[in-house]
Every structure is written in C-alpha cells, then in structure tokens.
A and B are shown apart, each in its own frame.
Chain A
Amino acid sequence: MRRFYFWQKEKSTKKNLRQSPLRKAVLVGNPNVGKSVVFNRLTGLYVTVSNYPGTTVEVARGRGYFIQEEMEVVDTPGMYSLLPITEEEKVARQLLLQEQPSVVIHVVDACNLERMLSLTLQLIEAEMPLILLINMMDEARRIGLRLDCDLLSQRLGIPVVAAAAVLNEGMANLRKKVAELVRTAA
C-alpha cells in the first residue's frame, strides 16, 4: 500500500498518471475548505487533517466505494480559479486536464459560499461532471446560517450536497450522488 502524508510532495505527475482501470472522482476547491477530510472520509485512508493554511500541498490518491462502484479518489492542491497563479493551482488544473475525471467534486465552505461560487461557475462553464459539496455546515449552523441546497441545485443544474465532513455528515448522500452521476454518464 502506498502511504501519503502531507509533507510528501508528489515527485512526478507523469508517474502517477499511469492508467488505472477505475473511474476517477477528483476533489477540487479553495484551500482550507476541508478537502482532505472529505478525501479521508471517502477513501477511509487518513492523510492529515489540519485547520491551518498550507498543509495540502500534495496530491493524494486513494480508493473508495460509491454504492456498488469502486473509484479512485484524487485530492488536489487548493485552487481559487481555473486560471492558475501559483504552482499549486497549476498542479490542480493539470490534474483536471489530464485525469479524465468521471466526477469532479467541488468542495466549498458553507460560510463563504458566495465567494467560492465563482469557481463552481467556471467548472460548470468547462462542462465538468460536477457535484457541489457544501462542507462545514456545522460551522454555518453555529453562526446562524441556513442554506437552501435544493434551490441552489435547481439554479446551478448540478447536484448539491450539504455536509460536515468532520462529523461524517452528508457523506453517504455524497456517495449516492456520485454513483448516480457516474451511472447517468455511462
């Protein structure tokens, strides 16, 4: 088994792109929205969860089951926009371009939804097979925010899942939505 830790940087992107027979789900999003936690929940493979900036500098891969389907899950470095500025954003976009994902899961922070929706719109524009995962719902509840996910899903035309990955909330729903998206696409 390969082990991944936050201090390990992916050495070469090419080497890790060897074709895997599994379909891929790619996690994207701003830094510090809990992508790594979602990744760990989905794969059952724990990397490292940290709530301070700068830890997600590598690309982690794992496998997880989505209802019946086993898929490869890829955790990308944080990105703010499809137009990359930093090295990390370049890596993240490179992954989107090259991995041929069956599902792209855009993870956002429920407390800063508006700011992060710009990337969602770009991913929709790029016609990615997209799911919007609104994470950190526990924080949003704590500061008294309520989100109408059905309305947002209707407006965006993509599945929207509310979650609190640290508490394992919404993860079953996410798996279900991923499986559905893969099935309709196939």
Chain B
Amino acid sequence: MSAQRPKIDYPLWLQQGAVKITGLMRGHYALSRYSIAMLLLQGDQDIAVLVRKKEGRDRWGLIDATVEEVRSLSPKPISYVVAVSRQKTGSKLIQDVVIKERLRRETWLDVLGELTMRLPMGIPVLFLVLYFALYRFVGVFGAGTVVDYIEGTIFQGYLNPWVNALVREYIPWPIIQDLLAHEYGIITLGLRYAIAIILPIVGCFFLVFSLIEDSGYLPRLALLVDRLCKVIGLSGRAVIPLTLGLGCSSMATLVTRTLETKRERVIATLLLALAVPCSAQLGVILSLLSRKPLALVIWITFVLLIFLMVGYLAAQVLPGQSPTFYMEVPPLRIPQLGNVLTKTLTRVQWYFFEIMPMFVLSSVLIWLGKITGLFDYAVSGLGRLVTFIGLPYEAGAMFLFGFFRRDYGAAGLYDLVAQELLTTRQLVVAAATLTLFVPCIAQFSIMMKERGPVTALAMAGFIFPFAFGAGFFLNIILIALGLV
C-alpha cells in the first residue's frame, strides 16, 4: 500500500540532498529517515540533538556538514521552499476531490449568526441571552426556586435539626459537636453550603454556559464586544475567559492563557480577581438583589463601572501594545443535547470535587479558629472594619468566609438576609464590596501559578484596600443620594 503513497514535489536538489543525508544515517527513528532529513534541513534543533545522540559524534559530523552543504544550495529560506512544495503537491492531489456543488444557501441559523455579530441587533440579542439564560434561569430558578427547596425545606427543615439532635445524643463533648454540627459544623455548614446553595446554582450555570458555548455564540460575542474590549486594553478574545469567570474565576484565570500577550493576561487576571463575580456569588447576589430591582441596577452599574475604570487605568499604566484580534467564527449550531448534558455533568463533578474539600476544610479552620479564639479576633476586626462602610458588625464574618471561597462569602450574605439583618442600602454595599473583595483561595493559587507570586501578591495587595475603599464611597454616595 505504501508504495502508492505520493511523494512531495520538492525541487530536485532538495530531494537528492535529503537522500544523501538519509544514506549517512544508521539509527532507527520513529519517523522515516527522509522526514528526519527534511527536519534537519529546516534547522530543527530538537531533531539535531536526537540524531547526534543516535548516530554518534563522527557520523553526526558528516551529516551536519551535508545538511549545511544542501542548505547552501537553496535560493530562498529552505522552510519556504519546503512549504511551497507541499502546498503545490497538496493542491494537485485535491483536484476533483473537492467539488463545490452549489452556492451557499442561507439558513435561518446563518441569518441569526450574522445578526448576533452586527452592532444594532447584536446588543438586544446579548441582552436576551443575559436575561433569560443568566437572570431567569440561573438567578431566579437556580438560586431561587431550587435553593429555597433544598436549603430551606430539606436542610433547615429536616437534615440540620436531625444532625444536631443526633450529634447531641451520641457525642458527649461539645467541642466535637461543634465540629460536626451547630452553626459552623462540617455537616450543617460545610455540606449545606456546598450541596444546598452552591451545587444548584453552579449546575444551572454550567448547563446554560455549555448550551451557549456549543451553539457557537461565544466567538460572536467576542467579535461584538471587540471594540469595547480595546478600551480596557483587551481584545475581543478576552470575552471568553471573562465570561467563563462568571462561572468560576479560578477556571477562567487558567483560560487567560489563550490570550496573546502577557499584558492582556495580566489585565484579564486582575479584572477576574477584582470585578468579575463567579457563578455561585453571582447567583446568590442576583437572587438576593432581584427582589429589589433598584438595588440590582445600582449593583450592576457600580461593578461595571469599576470593571471599566480599573481596566482602562490598567491599560494606560501597563506598557505594551494593544492586541490585534482575529478569530475564526464557527457557524451557529443547534447544540447536541447529549454533549451539553455530559459536559455540564463533568464540569459540575469537577467543580464539586474541587470545592467539597475546601468547604470541609473551611469548616474545620473556622472550628479551630473558634477554639483558639483567633476566629473571634478576626471576625471582630473585620466586624469593626465593615462598620466603616455602613454594614452591621455581623457582616464581618462573611468577608472572612470569602477568603476561603468567594461563594462561601456570598452564601454568608444569604444567611444575613435570611435573618433580616440588612437594610437595602447595606445589602447593596455588602454585595458590591463582596464582589470586589479578594479572590478565593483556589483562584489565588492559580494566579500565583500563572502570573507568578510577585504579580499575584501585588494584585491581592491592591484589591483588599480597593474593595473596602470602593464600598466606603458607595455607601457615602448612596446615603447622600438617598436612593435606597
């Protein structure tokens, strides 16, 4: 069969040169000797090292000399000659294989695909997607209906009282009782947050996100907002990590790799850490604020302003060129339900196994902190700090939770509201500050890994005072305006 395989039409001198080089080789290679010779001729360093090792110094000397000799025959850079030969051979082989049967027929998907990329129509489409997918489904259904049922009915109604009673009956030591149950126990707090609050929200979000992703809408969104992204020193491509950040900022920070320049990656990482709320946080905050539309509008405007402002400033401060942007736009497709479901499942699974230990660990740390008194100390410190931005003392604990996981903090906010400890103004300020506040442990460790410890620590050092400063100003502004 291989006898019929086509040869690439290299110029004769190149063919003869390659044959001469293969004649000098004795070693066995995973690739054919001819192809090894071609790579050597194109100046492949890794292959040169490999050949030197296999052939020994003497023969390598001969081979290397021959390679140089053949290279000197080339009128143009040899890689160019090689590439052109391959292209020509390819074009010849493909004749009559590809037949353009008819002119492209426009389907309704094509029309819709075009619309989503154009400015006047793209914006309402974007808002429809945001409204139905994120707000109605994740915010109202996931974070509202489902959470209310699992958290309120199942956990608070049945599971927690049952666990508390069980623990009280079988474990005589109050310290161990507190580790497992009661206010901050592994089961009553850690498990409850993870399963009842975070899981439904993240599940809904990943489902919607997978649907949007598989439909081919994301690259279109990237194209649509490219110009806006330029203002904050990013290209439209950055829409992907930034939107992913609405799912899980840790994951998104990893995906900033796909951005072209280091400058872009730094800006995107900073924005993700500061002003992009992750799905759990977003879901909880949306569901809390959606009961008061004005509060929701203020929160969105505020976070968006911070996002643009910090991005703009970062783009001014950081040296380097603005990125160019080119992206292949795939056609709009109807997502395959099977694909979407499995993808959602793997993501939820990954997420869940990643956060579960964190929640348990957080419960244990809080328990340790309570025993040693460290926790109370930190809570009272933060409690005093949050009174500066007009929040009740109890809100301090929530920011401490936020250290362990952002969504943990958001879930704490949920608890505060459930206990009716916050006015609307306080709720807005708390939600905004919490959104801006430090990234969670997982995100921070990825920032350290991807951007290096110096950059990551500098970002954290900027974000901490900035979040509280911004909260402080928001509080003053809201009081002055008397809006809420």
Chain A residues near B (Cβ < 8 Å): 3, 5, 7, 32, 46-55, 57, 82-84, 90, 96-98, 100, 113-114, 117-118, 120-122, 124-128, 139, 142-149, 151-152, 154-158, 166-167, 184
B213: nearest chain-A partner, CB-CB: A50
Contact yes or no, B97 A113, CB < 8 A: yes
Contact yes or no, A118 B219, CB < 8 A: no
Contact yes or no, A53 B327, CB < 8 A: yes
Contact yes or no, B336 A127, CB < 8 A: no
Q: Mark the stretch among B33-41, B157-165, B380-388 that contacts chain A.
A: B33-41
Contact yes or no, B32 A126, CB < 8 A: yes
What 3 A-B pairs are tightest by C-beta distance, nearest first? A54-B258, A117-B90, A157-B4
B350: nearest chain-A partner, CB-CB: A5
B107 contacts partner chain A, Cβ-Cβ < 8 Å:
yes
Which B residues are CB-close (under 8 A) to A3?
Answer: 346, 349-350
Contact yes or no, A117 B331, CB < 8 A: no
Take A32-B328, A127-B2, A156-B6 as given contacts and tell me if A48 and B100 are in contact as well, using a CB distance cutoff of 8 Å.
Answer: no
A53 to B216, CA, bound (A): 12
Which A residues are CB-close (under 8 A) to B4?
Answer: 154, 157
Take A52-B219, A125-B34 as given contacts and tell me if A5 and B93 are in contact as well, using a CB distance cutoff of 8 Å.
Answer: no
Which A residues are CB-close (under 8 A) to B46?
Answer: 84, 90
Contact yes or no, B99 A155, CB < 8 A: no
Contact yes or no, A125 B38, CB < 8 A: yes
Contact yes or no, A158 B96, CB < 8 A: no
A156 to B89, CA, bound (A): 11
Contact yes or no, B30 A155, CB < 8 A: no
Contact yes or no, B214 A125, CB < 8 A: no
Which B residues are CB-close (under 8 A) to A82?
Answer: 31, 35, 39
A100 to B1, CA, bound (A): 20
B3: nearest chain-A partner, CB-CB: A157
Contact yes or no, B30 A7, CB < 8 A: no
B87 contacts partner chain A, Cβ-Cβ < 8 Å:
yes
Q: Which residues 364-383 of B sit at the A interface, judged by CB distance below 8 A?
A: none
Which B residues are CB-close (under 8 A) to A49?
Answer: 214, 339, 343
Chain A to chain B contacts (Cβ below 8 Å), 14 pairs: A46-B342, A48-B343, A52-B218, A52-B327, A54-B257, A82-B39, A113-B98, A114-B91, A142-B107, A144-B103, A145-B100, A154-B4, A157-B2, A184-B1
Given contacts A54-B240, A145-B99, A167-B336, 15 further A-B contacts (CB under 8 A): A5-B350, A46-B343, A46-B346, A51-B213, A51-B219, A51-B330, A52-B327, A55-B255, A96-B30, A124-B5, A126-B32, A145-B101, A146-B99, A148-B97, A166-B333
B316 contacts partner chain A, Cβ-Cβ < 8 Å:
no
A128 to B5, CA, bound (A): 11
